[in-house]
Structure 1
């Protein structure tokens, strides 16, 4: 399947051509960066960002589209990624999982079809591993539908939607709702799902680089003879088949074994492989719950990761910062990682909704100073200037692009 007919419709006819032959969709910040700046407390950072309001947007690898631009577009769709590219994201993400016939597709999880597509109200509803069950008393409505239960051809028949579910739904149709009030369904109609190979074609045509994430399987591995190593290798092979240089790919995984596999078996790709650090969920039998602000409790340590050949590590935003004397500053975790020579990438800005009440999970380490949406740029400034991150994932990449352009990153 070629996406070029879709691109011809969605991309404006006057798009300029970049020096490398790729088309640029015509970049725009839209109104959000200026609005966020207006919400900031007065100070030097606000003044500097305001001085850039008339600047012309340019693409930057510091700005990474997290599943495209899912603040307003259904994630992992053609349209979501075009929007992210139009906001200047230099790197775009396809979360990679596999279908029943072991074809690779872009989904945040192998078992999220019930919240990200219309599968429950389609002819494929009977493939779901957990059929829709209505809410009952204190029990929420439930369902689980996996890409591993359908073929790529069947996957293509699904209609994407904003990632959400109505927990109190009594019918499968009602379950399609539940979109957070700070998101929108305005851009959900007519959106297009992507296979991994199609994402490569699309991102290249948009002039962007690539950061695929190999997602954990919801099924036992091996799956019908398809091993974890086969899975990790197939993802890389699709870039090689497309002629994409390893220097343009940052392959990600929460599974350290995947990172080490790429380092050993695909060293050019392994050099930029990104270990997604979720060790904040770890539990040590002797020490109890791991404190993410105490890097010494992590096993392996930052230096041990570096000694294994890991060059990039990506934790959530809050692990990289803390508060001292009312100011956002780098965390011990961040300083330990930098001391070991690890490159840091943060995830994910613009995912929390309004920040007037502490910001929720992504802002938990700085909740005491998170009381307005302008904190978005205060945090981003610390991440860029003090922590020294190499890039930031965002659900609305214009926010990061604006900052990077203004600061000359």
Structure 2
């Protein structure tokens, strides 16, 4: 580890959070007389939580495009989040997965039809088109599409796939235009998969950040990963804040977290036959371990507030309570919060959680199809930051509770 790395990363984190919180202002709100603000924010540093545009403002525009990131910034997001995968010639581009058929128009390009293949990603076979089989020049011939059918489709085919360097340039440009520093929250996607291809992500990410002057004290960057080993490697190389993502496979009828491959544990743990699961990383012992290499933990929000279904017919499955033909979160009730945020804070770890979406299918019955009601629950618990597909809703809900 670099000399004084622990002290340095602590200082960087403090400057990072302070800069954003000052830049966001006090968040005074016209949210209405029923919006009783907390006496103090219960975040790790006592300041208001951060809002990250999840893949940009992906509820409105195709994800991981400069247009989506721009909209998130315009809506008040403190950070924009690029998921990073590698091209054949080693460039880092923003896609949610190495397989790109659901988020680009590659399937409509006859010149690339022979690229369709099956690869193993995190131990599971995946069929499709993979970024690692395309050069950057070829990737630039593609356009982004909206992968979720219930979201606007009229922007499909309009926007290029951006590189990390282009995203950094956008954040810098918008920082100058808005007068508030826009942060970058990159995720190294499937690092073991990329390393096995001879396309490791970590050093390329750090090199791009260094070239942009975003590695020293006050750099507005947080790096995240679902794997552990690459975060431990990054800890040796940088004092930038690091975040351990924590996944799951879903929730059971009673709201208990379900774990099943490949969402049961960090994939590097699976390759090493490490018995620990994602849930194990959130025990007191697990949080102590995470704190040895990371500054924060970012669990799926159901680890913090889960939901339970109704099983009227006794078949062991949640019922379609609202009769809309599907079983989703709108058919479930929110359970009492866990103590995860408090326990993580006691270990010195900030807690960011994901993903907040405004569609009714993602909102528990208790929230009355009102996104602000869900945000308020998490904000009052002391969450340090949220990832949202609709950053405008997250920002407005935060302002409504602001001091």
Distance in 1 of aligned mates of 2:61 and 2:294: 33
**What does residue 169 of structure 1 align with?**
none
Per the alignment, residue 273 of structure 1 pairs with: 242
2:34 to 17, 21, 44: 44
Q: CA deviation at 1:103?
A: 0.8
Return closer, same or farther for 1:302/1:156 CA change in 2, 3 Å cut-off. same
Is 1:373 the counterpart of 2:373? The answer is no
For 1:104 and 1:152, how far apart are their aligned partners in 2?
A: 9
Secondary structure at the counterpart of residue 403 of structure 1: helix
CA distance in 1, matches of 2:281, 2:134: 43
The structural deviation recorded for 1:404 is 2.3
**After superposition, what is the alpha-carbon deviation per residue over 1:169-209, rounded to whole angstroms, capped at 9, x for unaligned?**
xxxxxxxxxx12xx111333522320111111112212211
Superposed CA deviations along residues 68-111 of structure 1, whole A, max 9, x for unmatched, are 01112110111111111110111001100100111110000111
Work out the CA distance in 1 between the residues paired with 2:202 and 2:303: 27
> Contact 1:99–1:152 at 8 Å: present in 2 too?
yes
Among residues 230, 241, 266, which one is paired with 2:211 in the alignment? 241
What is the DSSP-based 3-state SS (H/G/I as helix, E as strand, rest coil) of the residue aligned with 2:195? coil
Question: What's the counterpart of residue 309 of structure 1?
Answer: 293
1:293-308 equivalent positions in 2, closer than 5 A: 295-296=282-283, 301-306=286-291, 308=292
Cα distance between partner residues in 2 of 1:405 and 1:371? 18
Q: Which residue of 1 aligns with 2:304?
A: 320
Three-state SS of the structure 2 residue aligned to 1:115 is: coil
Q: Distance in 2 between matches of 1:213 and 1:61?
A: 20
1:93-108 residue pairs with structure 2 within 5 A? 93-108=81-96
State the shift of 1:295 in Å: 4.6
CA distance in 2, matches of 1:83, 1:380: 20
Aligned: 1:391 with 2:361: no
Do the aligned residues in 1 keep the contact of 2:367 with 2:373 (CA within 8 Å)?
no
Change (3 A) 1:259 1:293: closer
Kindly indicate whether residue 57 of structure 2 is the aligned counterpart of residue 69 of structure 1.
Answer: yes
2:349 counterpart residue number: 342
Query: Of residues 213, 218, 230 in structure 2, which corresponds to 1:258?
Result: 230
The alpha carbon displacement at 1:252 in A equals: 0.8
SS at match of 2:102: helix
TM-score by length of 1: 0.67
CA distance in 1, matches of 2:146, 2:281: 37
Residue of 210, 217, 223 corresponding to 2:184? 210
What secondary structure, in the 3-state scheme, does the structure 2 residue paired with 1:114 have? coil
Measured after TM superposition, the shift of residue 211 of structure 1 is 0.2
**Do the aligned partners of 2:246 and 2:278 also contact (CA within 8 Å) in 1?**
no
In structure 2, what is the Cα distance between the partners aligned to 1:329 and 1:399?
23
State the Cα distance separating 1:406 from its structure 2 match.
Answer: 3.0
Q: How far apart, CA to CA, are the structure 1 residues paired with 2:230 and 2:383?
A: 23
Q: Which has the higher contact order (CA 8 A, sep 6+)?
A: 2
Contact 2:49 2:383 in 1 (8 A): no
Q: 1:354 corresponds to which residue? A: 360
Closer, same or farther in 2 for the Cα pair 1:311/1:289, shift >3 Å? closer
User: Normalising by structure 2, what TM-score?
Assistant: 0.68
How do residues 12-161 of structure 1 correspond to structure 2 at under 5 angstroms?
44-45=34-35, 62-111=50-99, 113-122=100-109, 123-130=111-118, 143-161=127-145
Conserved 8 A contact 1:65-1:396:
yes
Cα RMSD of the aligned pairs, angstroms, is 3.6
In 2, Cα distance between equivalents of 1:143 and 1:295:
33
Where does the alignment leave 5 or more consecutive residues of structure 2 unmatched? 1-18, 24-28, 38-47, 120-125, 176-181, 249-256, 309-332
Alpha-carbon distance between aligned partners in 1 of 2:203 and 2:298, rounded to the nearest angstrom: 21
